[in-house]
A and B are shown apart, each in its own frame.
Chain A
Amino acid sequence: MKIDNTLPLEYSTEQNRMNVLGFWIFLGAEVMLFATLFATYFTLAHRTGNGPSGAEIFEIAPVLIETFLLLTSSFTIGLGVHAMRLGRKNAMIAFFAVTLLLGLAFLGVEIYEFTHYVHIGAGLQTSAFTAILLTTLGTHGAHVTLGLFWGLFIILQVKKRGLTPETANKSFIFSLYWHFLDVVWIFIFSFVYLKGMM
């Protein structure tokens, strides 16, 4: 394995660079996946049937809390990657742990939101609008849930094996995934919630 020491650890081998590029291609496909959900959402947003409309069920407080949690977690994982590049293993693990805690808090608020919707009669089967709303939010939430487990395993592996070209590469790729989730949330925040409450 040829290691190039002029680059950060996560790019230091040919394999590592290919892994990062490959993950970007995966994220490109994810962009398209969420695009289909947004397209369907915009089409069905006003098909509320006998159910409530977005303006009637959206609340600004939980949405703002979710946005702030995810935005901050995106910042802390960025700091985690920065610490990793400085070779500060413990600082990196701490930042990654904070990121996952913020992600967990986000998920907690989202689960509260979902139970609240079902409680006030806006379940998955209420109308075309609620169906696509919960599918879009749920797909993002499922990604966050997966990310929580993935991140946990990354932390455990870095703890056990230390910072090697391999673990650094995995950690960096996980950070790409996490930032991507924040990007998707920005669009949900803007074009589902704020547009709905405008």
Chain B
Amino acid sequence: MSELFPRKQVMGFVFSLVLTAAALTVYFMDLSFAVGMTVLLVTAFVQAAVQLVVFMHAGETDDKVAIYMNIYYGVAIALVTIFGTLLILVWDM
């Protein structure tokens, strides 16, 4: 039975729960906007990385480089889209 619950994935799950709990501090504690956003950015991106590496087996085959390049490309476009929009339409720069 225990062979069905590999240590790596159980630890990954526990770590995800811990990160979720850490993110909840912004709700339960009275943090400033800057500190709260920092906490959220760190916990969200670390948690996404846990999913990619532990659960999605991103680095397992010879296609590792192509897969990571593709992820970086997608994320880069996503960040440019989001921060570009914020810069022009919200922060008014």
The answer on a CB contact under 8 Å between A31 and B78 is yes
Interface residues of A, count at CB 8 A: 53
How many residue pairs link A and B with beta carbons under 8 A? The number is: 135
Interchain CB contact under 8 A, A197 and B67: no
Does more than half of chain B's interface fall in helix, strand or loop, or is it mixed? helix
Chain A residues within an 8 Å CB radius of B37: 195
| B4 and A60 contacting across the interface, CB-CB below 8 Å | no
Contact A194 B75 (CB under 8 A): no
Docked pose: A36 CA to B48 CA in angstroms: 18
Residues on B lying within 8 angstroms of A by beta carbon are 3-6, 9, 12-13, 16-17, 20, 23-24, 26-27, 31, 33, 36-37, 40-41, 43-44, 47-48, 51-52, 54-58, 60-63, 66-67, 70-71, 73-75, 77-79, 81-82, 84-86, 89-90
Nearest opposing residue in chain A for B54, CB measure: A78
Give the docked Cα–Cα distance between A86 and B61 (Å): 18
Residues of A within 8 A of B71 (CB): 24, 27-28, 31
Q: 10 A-B contacts, Cβ less than 8 Å apart?
A: A24-B66, A35-B77, A74-B51, A79-B9, A81-B57, A82-B6, A183-B52, A187-B44, A190-B44, A198-B27
Residues of A at under 8 Å CB distance from B?
7, 11, 17, 20-21, 24-25, 27-32, 34-36, 38-40, 42-43, 60, 64, 67-68, 71-72, 74-75, 77-79, 81-83, 86, 88, 91, 175-176, 179-180, 182-183, 186-187, 189-191, 194-195, 197-198
